[in-house]
Structures are given as structure tokens and as C-alpha cells.
Structure 1
Amino acid sequence: MPDGSTMAPGSPGTAPSEAAKMICTAETRDNMATVLSVVPDPKPVSTWKGGTYTCTYRIPTGVIVLSVHESADAPAAAAYTTGLRPGLTGAKDLKGLTDIAFGTADGVVVMQKDNDTLRVDLTRAGSGSDRVHTKRADYAYGIAAVILGCWTGD
């Protein structure tokens, strides 16, 4: 959060929290442009379904999908986050983000922060020898790091 506060626990409501909505702001888009050296479309598509807020950004070579799943509390978020890992082939623990953070070579990063689970998915961000495609895992980590920085006020 911009003021350094943590995300408030609670059960997912009928609308995403302010922390979740941060993934679909101009600040996040600008941060992604810095990480990628590619400017995402300024009008991403967002959805809210089943406690998950999703924001899909178009870039010239494909799409980047960011999502935040809101759980009732941190233990529920930890269970949700670790439950995603078996579905991600080759997922490895990531250092430097949060206590529960893992990613794949094809560009997916998942991490838990308080009662939220962030997923950064660059699997459809490019193809072939395209720069974004070949460095998807690095870019996914970078995007997750800047979002975490926004959440913690860094």
C-alpha cells in the first residue's frame, strides 16, 4: 500500500479491495513499461470473479495477465497459494519477494502477501525469439517485485 500499511484481512467482498485494484492502475502499467521496455495498452481489461481480480494488458507481442485472489485471512491465502504450485510444472521457490513465492521458466510468478495471492503470467507475452518471450521468467519476477513494492510502500 502507498502509505506502507498492510492489506486488511477479511473475507472477499462483492468488489475487489484497493490493494487488488492496484494491479490495474496507470502506476502498475508504467512500472511494467519500465521493466519490459515495452508500453502496455493503457486500457487493460479487468474482471472480478470468485474472489479473484484479473487485469489483462496487451503488449505488441501478446498479453500479460495479472491477478490477485483475496482470501479471508493470511492462513487461507497461504493454503490457496501453495495449492496453485502443483499446477505449475517446474515451479521453483523464488527469493527476494515474500515467504511464499515461486515461479516457472515460462513466465509465471505466484506469491502471497497477507491475505492476497498475486499471480503474474507472461506465458502469452511473446513468441519465438522475441525479447519478451525469451526473458519471460525474469520479467514476471520484475513485475511481481514492483507490485510488491507498491503494496508495501517501497
Structure 2
Amino acid sequence: MSDLEYLATLLAGLDAEIARVSAAESGSDEQSSAIDDAVDAVLRLRSKVKAGYPGKKAFYIAASTDPNGIRVEGISALQGKRAHQLVRDGGWMHADSSTVLDLLDDDQISRYIAVAGRGVAQTFRDSREYLSAAIALAQK
């Protein structure tokens, strides 16, 4: 499988998880599973896109200049966490919530702030938009 085919597979996987998040009933086991799987899909795609950038910091510089890139980094703060625990009523909990403070360390919270209080499905769609555009930039 070529890199472009692999990236297309990762994008399709993220699309499927976004659809699951959007279709799931709030608070259901399906929603919890879909949120965790969507975070994993973003992280896999982010890792592949980041590897295409020249230099170690190029991806971070690019992501920090785009609101949707900042959201990708907000989701990256959830790596290794049960992200669904940070969702209430279809939205990410606010960064000052005791649940957030218990689950994330200071560095993770500083990145999580980019998604706190936003709709979960929209955050994933914003991340997908950024990463799909970043694929082309990384290839240059």
C-alpha cells in the first residue's frame, strides 16, 4: 500500500468514527466507544501527517497557526486517556471541571483547552479538515 493509499485509509477510518460519534445517543456505550475510537483515529492520522513534515518542529509550528490545527493538538492531549470520560451532553467538559483536572496533567490540560466546551463531533470534523489539508502541505 502506498503512502497516499494509507493516508486515504486513515481519513476514511476517521470519517467512519465521526459518523459513529454523530449518530450515537448521548451518554450511550456506543458514544463512549465511538469517542475513544475517534481520538485514536485522529492520533493515527496526526502521526502519519506529522512524519511527512520536514524537521521535528515543522508540524507543531504549522498546527499552532491554524484554529483547526490547535484543535488537533487539543485532541492529542487525550492520548492514552479514556476520552469519553471528558464528554457530557455531546460536548467536551470545561478545563476547570474536576473530572478534567483529575484525568489530565498540566501539560495535557493546556492543550485540552483548545477543545474544552466545544461540541465533540464538530471538534473531530475540524480536526479531520485540518489533517486532510495538512497532508498536501506535508508532501511539499
State the TM-score bracket (shorter-chain normalisation): 0.3 to 0.5
Richer in helix (by share): 2
TM-score when normalising by structure 2:
0.34
TM-score when normalising by structure 1:
0.31
Richer in strand (by share): 1
